[in-house]
């Protein structure tokens, strides 16, 4: 709540006719806004009480062409975005030997790609498209498949940033070792 002291607002009797009209208009708008909000809240409550839930099924039909098309489009666009980010930037091998400012720019671009990729997969985790029940479990464990895919795809790229930032003193073969270390760690867990 906003509190206004009485001393900051002049009494209504000291307002001009024009100021009084603007106060009345503001009060009317505020009253109209409150009525609109209360109508919306009432409609939402009525819909919650009478309508069936929008997502009544926990599973997504992977035989439906619409769902398959959405998955393919999402993967395609994220792939295109990442390719455009890397294709329009300098090569990592050149960037590793570049001055610090250029290495920071390349790492910022890599961070943008990782954020874009992670955002897509975090949104995908909200849906049931990536949910798979693992067989042979007594507690019906459901795996969000997009989570490990995101980790496998983004962790080596984030480790690549460390190699680029380190500069020319780090051997170039370390750029490829980051992928092996990440996947090796994922397999152990």
Query: For residue 185, what pLDDT is reported?
Result: 61
Residue 4 — very low, low, confident or very high, per pLDDT cuts 50/70/90?
very low
| pLDDT band per the 50, 70, 90 thresholds, residue 80 | confident
Q: What is the pLDDT of residue 189?
A: 54
pLDDT higher than 50, residue 2: no
Mean pLDDT for all residues in the chain: 76
**Confidence at residue 130, expressed as pLDDT on a 0 to 100 scale:** 78
Structure confidence at residue 84 (pLDDT): 74
pLDDT score recorded for residue 1: 43
Length of the chain: 189
Kindly report, residue by residue over 38-50, the tens digit of the pLDDT.
888 888 788 777 7
Average pLDDT over residues 123-149: 78
pTM: 0.51
Contacts of the segment 92-101: beta carbons below 8 A, 24+ positions apart: 92/160, 92/164, 92/175, 93/172, 93/175, 95/164, 96/163, 96/164, 96/166, 96/167, 96/168, 96/170, 96/172, 96/175, 97/167, 97/168, 100/167
């Amino acid at each position: 709540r906003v509190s206004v002291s009485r001393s900051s607002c002049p009494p209504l009797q000291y307002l001009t006719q024009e100021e009084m009209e603007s106060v009345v208009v503001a009060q009317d708008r505020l009253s109209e806004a409150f009525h609109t909000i209360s109508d919306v809240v009432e409609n939402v409550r009525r819909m919650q009480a009478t309508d069936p839930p929008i997502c009544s099924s926990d599973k997504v039909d992977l035989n439906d062409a619409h769902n398959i098309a959405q998955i393919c489009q999402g993967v395609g666009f994220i792939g295109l975005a990442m390719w455009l980010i890397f294709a329009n930037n300098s090569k990592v091998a050149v960037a590793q030997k570049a001055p610090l400012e250029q290495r920071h720019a390349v790492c910022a671009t890599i961070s943008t790609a990782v954020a874009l990729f992670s955002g897509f997969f975090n949104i995908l985790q909200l849906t049931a498209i990536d949910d798979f029940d693992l067989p042979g479990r007594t507690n019906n464990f459901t795996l969000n498949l997009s989570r490990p895919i995101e980790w496998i795809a983004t962790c080596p790229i984030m480790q690549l940033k460390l190699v680029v930032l380190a500069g020319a003193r780090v051997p170039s073969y370390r750029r490829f070792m980051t992928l092996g270390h990440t996947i090796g760690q994922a397999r152990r867990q």
